[in-house]
Structure 1
């Protein structure tokens, strides 16, 4: 039995996409993005009170990087991982975990634009700096993807899923258009059925009410 605890448009979407690509039976429990994640019942699954949490074969896992590695090792026949000893193993690990480098900046911007409800609480400096840091992440990916269809020469993998979902969130704060190789890659991987199946369903509450949030202008 595999059960994913998920909030739409959050990091748990990374695990949801991976499960669809693995093509294994699983169920999804959708949670609201609110204080209910701090309840004792949920903290027993993820002590940080965040998503994802994954229940699999009597185990409880949290942290998307760890979940990605574990699932790819459980289902190696899908070819989405690079097992220990494989030539691309080191590169695969680097890019799977680079997703969190991207996501930390998106998380800071999500807090500024979405979680802080009053304009006076938001920082023009933070939003400008974090958007610029996303641009540096984009530049690193642009260099990697120039001349490649996927992050690894061996083809599509969970590294593309991890980074692709991070970019899905980051696009709300920094545009991809100045980075043509990155944009082409993103369009390529998000056309996949697994990504489309991981998008929010009609009626589900969205984390992002707008498609794009520009940096906050300083007070006049």
Structure 2
């Protein structure tokens, strides 16, 4: 059975949401954040101490945007993934990676220097700079949605939407959602209304 090591509303939520969308059986290990300090026994499973960690037999994965794609291709076929012969396949891959490298990364700097570091090590200037970086990257998402599309590619909800919507969940947690355009706000409402999103939320609360 698939095992997922997870912290509440952290990047691992992408994998948890994907598991729920696909209806796959899994065991959830929910830990306090950051686990490298608050759950040191986790270092035996993942020496980096980062989350997520997904274990599927001999397969071990730690990249939050790669895991949903793996699940869709390993346990598909499913409309949640695009195939190479679909016109939007490149766009799908682009959003999968953009969701982490472009939309989530700057927010992790904000999180670190406003909440995670000890008071004397917090850097407001760094947090402010990376907040602006995130806001500038949000404009690309607004442009992508400005033609009225509901989802990012192929006229259907995919793993790219899970990965991108997670970046918006993090933004809401950090109080950065005041910069959401109407297009992004509506997109977030659609994504977060999905039954699998609510199932993932419930699973982490139970775990």
Name the SS for the 1:154 alignment partner.
coil
Provide closer, same or farther for how the CA distance between residues 180 and 104 of structure 1 changes in structure 2, counting only shifts above 3 A: same
Provide closer, same or farther for how the CA distance between residues 56 and 202 of structure 1 changes in structure 2, counting only shifts above 3 A: closer
Name the SS for the 1:29 alignment partner.
strand
Name the SS for the 1:76 alignment partner.
coil
d(CA) in 2 for partners of 1:92, 1:38: 36
1:181 counterpart residue number: 183
d(CA) in 1 for partners of 2:180, 2:55: 40
Provide closer, same or farther for how the CA distance between residues 199 and 12 of structure 1 changes in structure 2, counting only shifts above 3 A: same
Where does 1:164-203 land on structure 2 (aligned, <5 Å)? 164-171=165-172, 172-176=174-178, 178-199=180-201, 201-202=204-205
TM-score, normalised via structure 1 length = 0.83
Provide closer, same or farther for how the CA distance between residues 195 and 203 of structure 1 changes in structure 2, counting only shifts above 3 A: closer
State the aligned residue count. 201
CA contact (8 A) 1:109 1:173 kept: no
TM-score, normalised via structure 2 length = 0.88
1:116 counterpart residue number: 117
CA contact (8 A) 1:82 1:89 kept: yes
Deviations 1:134-172 (A, max 9, x none): 111211100001121111132110000001011100222
Name the SS for the 1:199 alignment partner.
helix
CA contact (8 A) 2:11 2:52 kept: yes
Deviations 1:167-218 (A, max 9, x none): 10022242245501011000111011111122265587xxxxxxxxxxxxxx
Provide closer, same or farther for how the CA distance between residues 13 and 157 of structure 1 changes in structure 2, counting only shifts above 3 A: same
CA contact (8 A) 1:3 1:56 kept: yes
Name the SS for the 1:60 alignment partner.
strand
CA contact (8 A) 2:99 2:167 kept: yes
CA contact (8 A) 2:6 2:29 kept: yes
Where does 1:79-98 land on structure 2 (aligned, <5 Å)? 79-98=79-98
2:145 counterpart residue number: 145
d(CA) in 2 for partners of 1:121, 1:43: 24
Across the aligned residues of Structure 1 and Structure 2, the Cα RMSD in angstroms comes to 2.0
As a proportion of its length, which structure holds more helix?
A: 2
d(CA) in 2 for partners of 1:177, 1:103: 15
| Unaligned residue ranges in structure 2 (runs of 5+) | none
Where does 1:21-32 land on structure 2 (aligned, <5 Å)? 21-32=21-32
Once superposed, which parts of structure 1, at least 4 consecutive aligned residues long, lie more than 6 Å away?
Answer: none
